[in-house]
Structure 1
């Protein structure tokens, strides 16, 4: 069933999107401000359930591309994502009937909402990652046969370009990353144009609704003086993300972070409050793996999420700091993201990690609550 998204929904949606972004996807606060302004100018946004899409509707996903660290210093103008959509529409010779996120995490849950508000298009309640990933070929769309190109890339000064690599989504990513670097490290894109039938076949469904629900659950638990992590687990139970495990509780002891080739890469460590255990995180925009005392507790494509200990507010990789008190949780991904063909595109080996994929619920048969 379709529903209207209003300004009042944005804080909960941004919180849930930041969590599903697994530390990446860009700062949802910046996106939230852009959407708030767009709603104030143009009114509420229609969120369309994928089941309500006509099979022949043209859906064009829109997003921001680049290193999350850059957005802290280079804020979007706000016109770029609509410019990318229009450029791709002109190239295809056909208007879009809807837009959609390519990922449900961070700012990229917000960018399609800006496009929807400004253009009057509905936004589909689905995405192509079920979380956030750093590279454009890492989409369930591509895994299950939808080419990413032709795609449009737009910059803040009105420039735009079309990249068409046919079915080669990896080369599309490589070329688009180079353009993005030359646009100052951040750009806005429209890609993976597809029909409504293809959305139903390839997308992770109802992830905007999920982000809103988990953001609301965390807030309501805080207000009631309840455990927000337990509330988060309850909100996920019965969804496609059914398993949550508490992996670690402690204090951040070190962060090494660098921006290179259009990505924020690095590692972070934390020490348990009793000083007996150590957590190590590796990230490329998003957290890729969590090791506790050298043992894998959660690895991509499952979600590694770092939360502020008291309020369970998600902490992005660019905002990790020495001394933060954190709770780290692992969350299972939907089944269509754990198939052999999906793991080939965005499993551990795709990031050069030496660890095989093991589901978080198997790494942690019961919830691990580290001291």
Structure 2
């Protein structure tokens, strides 16, 4: 079913994608500002069934440090050179666009292209993830996928490989050379490929979540979790943040629970697991949302600081990841080197 998105719905969509970020994916403010021009709205959003499955499609995302995007704002058309290079390599215009990532700021990225492309409501993650080799098309080994990315000062790199990890490492190196943040575009797939090898309806889900969150923002925590389709995991005050001895990017956020229990939130670039009194309560692909207990602001991992009062909600992760053992192994904690935390779905 074709859906018409109005500019007035943008804050709700953005808030929904903040929830789907699971503490990562970057704040949506920059993309909200980029989409502030009301003349670009309304935006037509297509379901996969609305489009010819043979139509070529591309996916776009910002890669690297989302914090740097706030310090060095993207140009007026940051993806234009990347799309031009992809279309030259592909040999024809690519008329359909989806988002690469279905959480955080990149959930909004496909809407930037609505004036020149048909926006399809599908993406390759359904939540925020840190690495490009976790994109669903690569997890399912769809052939012919290639990518373009920034290298800095107008440079463009094109990568085509049968090993997803090569694509991740090469593009990550190029983005570092470009200053730590830049754009990336995936191509070489069709709308039909997305039907089986992508997550469907993330923009619609974000709109639903954001609208429900705004309506119940002042409600009791249990009611808020219910309207979001999730469950309360815990609440309390952050007492300490311990770095993992083996991986300095992994932290354990210790929370003194309201009933005397001890919670731990295990984080990397996203919240990966939630533990109470030593028992695993939730872990990826479950989406672990941390809110400020007073303001109900949706918090990034970087916002978790000592003495902050927080509440934690678990939202169901996309069903796509649970479709096979091969798929789910790319998003459970063992994919991040934390095998002991698998199984908390």
Same structural fold, with TM-score higher than 0.5 when normalized by the shorter chain: yes
SS at match of 2:52: coil
State the shift of 1:41 in Å. Answer: 4.7
| Aligned position for 1:357 | 342
State the shift of 1:101 in Å. Answer: 0.9
Instruction: Provide closer, same or farther for how the CA distance between residues 334 and 95 of structure 1 changes in structure 2, counting only shifts above 3 A.
Output: same
The answer to whether the 8 A contact 2:151-2:157 is kept is no
Q: Which runs of 5+ in 2 are unaligned?
A: none
State the shift of 1:328 in Å. Answer: 0.9
| Aligned position for 1:196 | 191
| Aligned position for 1:368 | none
| Aligned position for 1:369 | none
CA distance in 1, matches of 2:153, 2:222: 43
SS at match of 1:355: helix
| Aligned position for 1:234 | 227
The answer to whether the 8 A contact 1:3-1:46 is kept is yes
| Aligned position for 1:108 | 106
SS at match of 1:280: strand
| Aligned position for 2:132 | 136
CA distance in 2, matches of 1:16, 1:210: 7
| Aligned position for 2:47 | 49
The answer to whether the 8 A contact 2:5-2:41 is kept is no
The answer to whether the 8 A contact 1:266-1:284 is kept is yes
**Structure 1 residue ranges (4+ consecutive) displaced by more than 4 angstroms after TM superposition:** 255-258
Instruction: Provide closer, same or farther for how the CA distance between residues 50 and 227 of structure 1 changes in structure 2, counting only shifts above 3 A.
Output: farther
CA distance in 1, matches of 2:222, 2:280: 21
Q: Which is worse superposed, 17-26 or 151-160? A: 151-160
CA distance in 2, matches of 1:206, 1:284: 26
The 5 Å alignment of 1:284-295 reads 284-295=268-279
State the shift of 1:310 in Å. Answer: 4.0
| Aligned position for 2:330 | 345
| Aligned position for 2:6 | 6
| Aligned position for 2:20 | 20
SS at match of 2:134: coil
Instruction: Provide closer, same or farther for how the CA distance between residues 294 and 15 of structure 1 changes in structure 2, counting only shifts above 3 A.
Output: same
CA distance in 2, matches of 1:229, 1:59: 41
| Aligned position for 1:121 | 117
CA distance in 2, matches of 1:274, 1:246: 13
Q: Which is worse superposed, 326-335 or 13-22? A: 326-335
| Aligned position for 1:280 | 264
The answer to whether the 8 A contact 2:234-2:257 is kept is no
The answer to whether the 8 A contact 2:83-2:185 is kept is yes
CA distance in 2, matches of 1:337, 1:153: 26
The answer to whether the 8 A contact 1:2-1:52 is kept is yes
Instruction: Provide closer, same or farther for how the CA distance between residues 289 and 178 of structure 1 changes in structure 2, counting only shifts above 3 A.
Output: same
| Aligned position for 1:185 | 180
CA distance in 2, matches of 1:78, 1:228: 40
CA distance in 1, matches of 2:180, 2:24: 15
